[in-house]
Structures are given as structure tokens and as C-alpha cells.
């Protein structure tokens, strides 16, 4: 005999009432073990999306998802731990240089990452383009690598917040991904269960992100910071611009190549800026302030940790990265200024070229994606390459070009001096705000 009826719980939230702690505990547990069906949880998720949740409900929902599985314990490590989570964007390869960079300073980074779905890329998909690299590690291997090298990027085990894994897949197919309570509890249940001592959240804002405006991004950030702080995790958030793709690549091997450029002391300015800013946040939260992360990119220390981290997981850091068999160039049709390069459009194009997946079981092409030659605010001439498209299957070019033509705007010379937000997007700081405990 079940303690509650799922239909009663759906009606409660449908009618804008608050769920009790006992109702929340039961519905998460019952859904995890199959006593509540997908169709019932779909209805509840939609009611939550439409009617929201109070802070007490969100906190209890998060705790119930943590309680559905195991919790990792890093207390045996000789160094403090700090992690970063991004809410997802286009060209967001920051985890790759960030984890080894933070490890340089004696802070362990247990970066449990995921795969891409839709227009946002996945960290594991990127790293799997490195020959031999493996994503799946046991808890014992994770602990050993953190103690020895200081950084690990790998797949989360099935034992961490299994309720979230099941609910996340359901939300993606029922139009309920954008719910702030469900986003916050999904992210924070995994990160708290992971056992890190400090957490920095990179909350993306703009067309290529789930949060399209600053107000909703701030609401999400505050909710997650509060959840982390209440759980004893030192938590802060940076709100960062995702109206324009991050860096000059969107795709798997393409982004690994760019991340290695950053680790070698080069790379695009926006990728370097965000990597260093997040590193400072993580190091400060872990009790290592007043160090200069940027110096460790320039002098090779971060690259040394990267090479050891990749090799420890079976990868060859010296191996050539996969390249797509076919390329197509999108060129400027007129002289002028690139005033707009829409992140969402570039992300969808990379997805259509084969860099992403529509379903979790889909394969991805390691070499597919979009290479960016010009960023907003820069002057272009007619015929100049704006973007290069990469894929193994040339029949994919047509649909990718369809979305890119709507994502790119070139205006006549002088348009970049009007002060419009799009035209100046390439020149301001990528960091829009900070939310702390």
C-alpha cells in the first residue's frame, strides 16, 4: 500500500498549492522505483513548470533526489575539492582547460560531466574525440586520480542521484526543461551528492542558453547558490554571456583543439577570460586565494596537468585529433560589420552537421562542427570567410546553412559604431554578474 496517490499530488501542484515534505519524499522515491509512471511524473513536471515551487519545496525536492542514490566522499584526499558546473551553451569548452588549471594550485577538481543533447555540447563528447580516452571510471579510480594528479573529468556513476537521471530524460521529451525549480534541483542534487567542498556555477544568459534574460538567470543562480550553501557547499555563481558562441569553435574535436591552445598560453580572449575568472572563484572558495591562474596557462603548468590527466584515462595527448572529411565555407555577401552571430543558430548548425544528438542514444561525429572566423563588431569584406562548416556527410550542409544564414547579420560600414548590443558583444566582458552566498 503506497502512502500517497500520485494523482492527488499532481492536483495539488496543478491547483498552485505547496507540496508537503512527505509528498515530495514519496513521489521522488516512488518514481525512482517505478511506482509512479512516466505519464504521471510528466504531468507533475508540467504543473511545476507552470506554477513554480517555493524555496522550501525546491530544497526538499533536491534532498529527496540526493537520497535516491549514493553520495561520494572525498574526505580521504590530502587536498581540498572544488567543482564547476555550466548550465550549457555553444562552444563552451571551459571545463577542459579549467580543471587542470585549478589543480595546479593544489585543489582537486572532481569534474563529473555529461554528454550533449540538442544544440548544447557535452564535455564527454569532446574528450572522447581524443584517441583512447575513456569517460567511465570507478569511484576508486576517481579518488586515486584526484590524489595523484588533482583533476579528473569523467562520467557520473549511475549511483549518483538516479532519480535525477530518470527525471532529466523525461523533462527533455516533455517540454519541461526550462523550469527553474527543476533545473536547480537537477544540477544541485548531482553536485551535492558528488561531495565537492566548493562549487562555482557558470549560469549562461542569452539566445544559446536555457536562460534567455538576466532576470531569469539571476533567479536560477540565487536558487542554486542557496541550495548549495544550505547543504554546506561553498557556492557562488557567475552569470556569463551566451548570446554569441564562446570562442571560435563549436564541435567536439574542434573545441578540444581550441582548449589545448588555451592551455598552451594562447586561444581566444573570451575563453581565456572565463577560464581564469572561474579558476579564481574556485580557488578562493577552496581556500587558495591570492594566486594568479593566468600565469599557469602561460608557463605550461596547466598543460602539464592536462597531459597527465588525459593519459591517466587512456588518452594520447599527442595524437592527432579527428578531422571531418568535408568542409563548406559561409562567406560575407557584402562589405560591412558583423553585427550579429547568434549562439543558438551556430549551436543548431553544429548539431545538424553531426556534432550533437537528438536522442541520448545517437552517435556524434568527432570532427563535425562550426569554425568561426569573425566575431561581432569586426569589419568584413565581401567574399571573406565568416564560418567554416565541418562534417563527414556533405548532405548535412544544406540544413546547417539554412539556420546559419538567419544567425549571421552583416550591416554596412559604420554599423558597429552605433552602440547596439549585438555589435558590441565581442568587446565587453563576458561576465555579466556574480551571485554569492
**Residues assigned a catalytic role:** 85, 164, 171, 186, 190
Q: If you ran DSSP here, which 8-state letter would residue 322 be given?
A: P
User: What residue has cell string 521529451?
Assistant: 173
Torsion of CA 323, 313, 246, 379, to 10 degrees: -40
What's the Cα-to-Cα distance from 108 to each of 76, 81, 276, 309, 353, rounded to whole Å?
A: 12, 5, 16, 12, 36
Residue whose C-alpha is closest to residue 389's, from 338, 354, 341: 354
Q: Which residue has the cell 553531426?
A: 354
Sign of CA dihedral 376, 381, 382, 384: negative
The beta-carbon contacts of 173-176 under 8 Å, at least 24 apart in sequence, are 174/42, 174/45, 174/46, 175/46, 175/49, 176/42, 176/45, 176/46, 176/48, 176/49
Reduced DSSP (H G I as helix, E B as strand, rest coil) percent helix, strand, coil of the chain, to 5? 45, 15, 35
Alpha carbon distance 284, 290 (integer Å): 8
The sign one gets for the Cα dihedral 342, 344, 346, 349 is: negative
Task: Choose among 264, 262, 284: nearest CA to 273.
Answer: 262
CA 204/CA 181 separation, integer angstroms: 16
Contacts of 383 (CB under 8 A, 6+ apart): 331, 332
Q: Measure the CA–CA gap between 355 and 351, rounded to whole angstroms.
A: 5
Amino acid at each position: 500500500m503506497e502512502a500517497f496517490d500520485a494523482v492527488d499530488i499532481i492536483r495539488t501542484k496543478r491547483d498552485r498549492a505547496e507540496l508537503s515534505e512527505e509528498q515530495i519524499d514519496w513521489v521522488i522515491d516512488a518514481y525512482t522505483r517505478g511506482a509512479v509512471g512516466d505519464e504521471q511524473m510528466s504531468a507533475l513536471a508540467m504543473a511545476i513548470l507552470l506554477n513554480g515551487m517555493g524555496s522550501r519545496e525546491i530544497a526538499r525536492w533536491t534532498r529527496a533526489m540526493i537520497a535516491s542514490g549514493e553520495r561520494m566522499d572525498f574526505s580521504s584526499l590530502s587536498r581540498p575539492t572544488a567543482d564547476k558546473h555550466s548550465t550549457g551553451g555553444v562552444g563552451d569548452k571551459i571545463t577542459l582547460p579549467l580543471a587542470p588549471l585549478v589543480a595546479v594550485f593544489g585543489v582537486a577538481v572532481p569534474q563529473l560531466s555529461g554528454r550533449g543533447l540538442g544544440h548544447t555540447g557535452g564535455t564527454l563528447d569532446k574528450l572522447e574525440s581524443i584517441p583512447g580516452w575513456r569517460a567511465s571510471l570507478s569511484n576508486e579510480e576517481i579518488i586515486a586520480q584526484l590524489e595523484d594528479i588533482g583533476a579528473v573529468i569523467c562520467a557520473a556513476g549511475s549511483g549518483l542521484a538516479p532519480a535525477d537521471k530518470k527525471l532529466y530524460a523525461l523533462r527533455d521529451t516533455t517540454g519541461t526543461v526550462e523550469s527553474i525549480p527543476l533545473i536547480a534541483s537537477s544540477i544541485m542534487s548531482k553536485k551535492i551528492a558528488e561531495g565537492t567542498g566548493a562549487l562555482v556555477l557558470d549560469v549562461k544568459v542569452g539566445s544559446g542558453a536555457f536562460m534567455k534574460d538576466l532576470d531569469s538567470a539571476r533567479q536560477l543562480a540565487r536558487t542554486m547558490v542557496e541550495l548549495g550553501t544550505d547543504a554546506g557547499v561553498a557556492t557562488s555563481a557567475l552569470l556569463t554571456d551566451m548570446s554569441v558562441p564562446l570562442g571560435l569553435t563549436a564541435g567536439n574535436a574542434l573545441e578540444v583543439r581550441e582548449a589545448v591552445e588555451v592551455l598552451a598560453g594562447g586561444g581566444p580572449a573570451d575563453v581565456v577570460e572565463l577560464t581564469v575568472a572561474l579558476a579564481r572563484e574556485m580557488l578562493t572558495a577552496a581556500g587558495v586565494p591570492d594566486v594568479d591562474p593566468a600565469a599557469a596557462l602561460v608557463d605550461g603548468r596547466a598543460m602539464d596537468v592536462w597531459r597527465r590527466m588525459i593519459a591517466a584515462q587512456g588518452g594520447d595527448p599527442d595524437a592527432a585529433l579527428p578531422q571531418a572529411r568535408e568542409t563548406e565555407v559561409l562567406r560575407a555577401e557584402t562589405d560591412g560589420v558583423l553585427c550579429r552571430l547568434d549562439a543558438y543558430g551556430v549551436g543548431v548548425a553544429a548539431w545538424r552537421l553531426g556534432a550533437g544528438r537528438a536522442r541520448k542514444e545517437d552517435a556524434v561525429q568527432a570532427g563535425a562542427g562550426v569554425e568561426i572566423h569573425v566575431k561581432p563588431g569586426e569589419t568584413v569584406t565581401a567574399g571573406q570567410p565568416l564560418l567554416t562548416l565541418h562534417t563527414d556527410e556533405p548532405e548535412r550542409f544544406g540544413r546547417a546553412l539554412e539556420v546559419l544564414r538567419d544567425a549571421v547579420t552583416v550591416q554596412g560600414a559604420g554599423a558597429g559604431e552605433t552602440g547596439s548590443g549585438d555589435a558590441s558583444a565581442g568587446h565587453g566582458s563576458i561576465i555579466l554578474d556574480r551571485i554569492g552566498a
